[in-house]
């Protein structure tokens, strides 16, 4: 059954490539599929309905304000809502003063990647 897995990362910078490619490091990866191989502690939830996935995303971003000049959170969320309704991935990443904020909802099943939450399949 089609569903989404939610992941989040907040850090002071984009992690170095060596850390991003290390499946055991709890930092944002460079490729979307690699989120599924990151530590289970990074998996924030599994959602079977687009509206539930969107609600998680909106709640996650409500306290994070993009740096001056960045797109407002409402615009990020508007786009995310559209793609979730189409059954696609939603990825939001931006800088806020002093750190980077990344939240993503990834569709599953996903090619050769194993479902990170087998109870949801």
Give the closest residue to 11 by CA, choosing from 26, 30, 31, 24: 26
pTM of the model: 0.93
Q: Please report whether residue 2 resides in a domain.
A: no
Mean pLDDT, rounded, for 30-59: 96
User: What pLDDT, on a 0 to 100 scale, did the predictor assign at position 12?
Assistant: 94
- Is residue 121 scored above 90 in pLDDT? no
Q: Is residue 58 domain-resident? A: yes
Check residue 113 and give its pLDDT: 93
Domain that holds residue 45: 7-108
Q: Residue 12: inside a domain, yes or no? A: yes
More confident residue, 1 or 8: 8
Q: Is there a domain that residue 115 lies in?
A: no
Dist. CA 121–CA 113, nearest whole Å: 13
Burial of 72 (0-12, 13-18, 19+ CB in 10 A): exposed
Tell me the pLDDT of the chain averaged across its residues.
Answer: 94
Cβ distance 76 to 60 under 8 Å?
A: no
**Overall number of domains in the chain:** 1
Write out pLDDT tens, residues 57-104. 999 999 899 999 999 999 999 999 999 999 999 999 999 999 999 999
Supply the pLDDT for residue 117.
Answer: 83
Residue 116 within a domain: no
């Amino acid at each position: 059954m089609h569903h989404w897995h939610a992941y989040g990362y907040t850090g002071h910078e984009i992690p170095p490539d060596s850390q991003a490619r290390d499946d055991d490091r709890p930092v944002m990866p460079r490729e979307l599929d690699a989120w599924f191989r990151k530590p289970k502690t990074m998996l924030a939830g599994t959602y079977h309905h687009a509206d539930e996935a969107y609600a998680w995303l909106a709640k996650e971003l409500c306290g994070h304000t993009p740096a001056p000049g960045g797109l407002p959170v409402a615009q990020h969320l508007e786009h995310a809502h559209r793609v979730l309704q189409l059954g696609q991935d939603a990825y939001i990443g931006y800088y806020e003063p002093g750190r980077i904020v990344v939240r993503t909802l990834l569709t599953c099943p996903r090619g050769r990647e194993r479902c990170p939450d087998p109870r949801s399949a």
